[in-house]
Amino acid sequence: MQVASVSAVKQFRYYDLIMAAFVTILLCSNLIGASKVCTLGGITFGAGVLFFPISYIFGDVLTEVYGYQRSRKVVWAGFGAMAFASFMAWLVLALPPASGWPYQAAYETVFGGTYRIVIASLLAYFAGEFANSYVLAKMKILTQGRHLWTRVIGSTIVGEGVDSIIFYPVAFLGIWPTSLVVKVMISNYCIKVGWETLITPMTYRVVAFLKRAENEDYYDYDTDFTPFSLRI
């Protein structure tokens, strides 16, 4: 198994597939579930919380196996996809509907996210994902590759915390009652961290499989951790 601080550029069997899955989950959780608030068993939460944490699991796997630089590339791919999806939604809604087409109002309800939600989603995603990857990469060096659960859960605590603190106030403060914003933010954060903790055994299996299949186990000893680069 390769353990290196400077990895030669090489091809991986599963990296592109993981990138595609990451972007798919990211877009679906933001477009379909971000604005709906649910109550189940007395707990109030945003519907997207059921799926959005999966993107952080993919982020953990990417950083753990391939390193921060390749994870950074995937984060930027997700950011570009979200930005384009937001632009496309705005343009499609802005186009005048044909006479007699009855679904404009429904489209506006489903896809008409306000500029605040779009900005909040992009900012929260950008900051949260990079915080998650940075913490995991640093903890991997600190733990010398042992105790994967500590960095998987620890990076999620930080990353999801940054994401939640940015997204909910920017998107909904002044629109929802402040008490609801705080309630949903806290409950969603706890659900996300709990979700990640619950699925940690599965994360172990995926990481172990990829390290064997890709012959890669990257340590970010000499990595430039700036988020504003696509260099590998």
**pLDDT category of residue 7 using cuts at 50, 70 and 90:** very low
- Mean pLDDT is lowest, of 49-53, 56-60, 104-108, for 49-53
Name the region of 39 (left: φ>0; alpha: ψ -120 to 50; beta: rest). beta
**Predicted confidence (pLDDT) at residue 151 exceeds the cutoff of 90:** yes
Instruction: Kindly report the number of other CB atoms within 10 A of residue 46's CB atom.
Output: 23
Helix (H, G, I), strand (E, B) or coil at 39: strand
Specify the pLDDT at position 3: 52
Residues 61, 55: Cα–Cα separation, whole Å:
10
Do 36 and 188 meet the contact criterion of CB atoms below 8 Å apart? Answer: no
Specify the pLDDT at position 34: 62
Specify the pLDDT at position 107: 86
**Predicted confidence (pLDDT) at residue 97 exceeds the cutoff of 90:** yes
Specify the pLDDT at position 128: 96
Residues 51, 57: Cα–Cα separation, whole Å:
11
What is the pLDDT of the chain when averaged over all its residues?
Answer: 89
Do 30 and 48 meet the contact criterion of CB atoms below 8 Å apart? Answer: yes
**pLDDT category of residue 173 using cuts at 50, 70 and 90:** very high
**Predicted confidence (pLDDT) at residue 160 exceeds the cutoff of 90:** yes
Burial of 210 (0-12, 13-18, 19+ CB in 10 A): buried
Do 27 and 34 meet the contact criterion of CB atoms below 8 Å apart? Answer: no
Cα separations (Å) of 117 from 66, 113, 201? 32, 6, 33
Give the mean model confidence (pLDDT) for residues 171-181: 91
**Predicted confidence (pLDDT) at residue 5 exceeds the cutoff of 50:** no
Give the mean model confidence (pLDDT) for residues 129-152: 97
Give the mean model confidence (pLDDT) for residues 32-50: 75
Note the Cα 55 to chain centre separation in Å. Answer: 4
Greater model confidence, 10 or 105: 105
pTM confidence score: 0.88
Give the mean model confidence (pLDDT) for residues 218-222: 96
If you count them, how many residues does the chain have?
A: 232
Give the mean model confidence (pLDDT) for residues 41-68: 85
Specify the pLDDT at position 83: 94
What topology does CATH give the domain 15-214? Arp2/3 complex 21 kDa subunit ARPC3 (1.10.1760)
Of 89, 56, 86, the closest CA to residue 74 belongs to: 56
**pLDDT category of residue 35 using cuts at 50, 70 and 90:** low
**Predicted confidence (pLDDT) at residue 78 exceeds the cutoff of 60:** yes
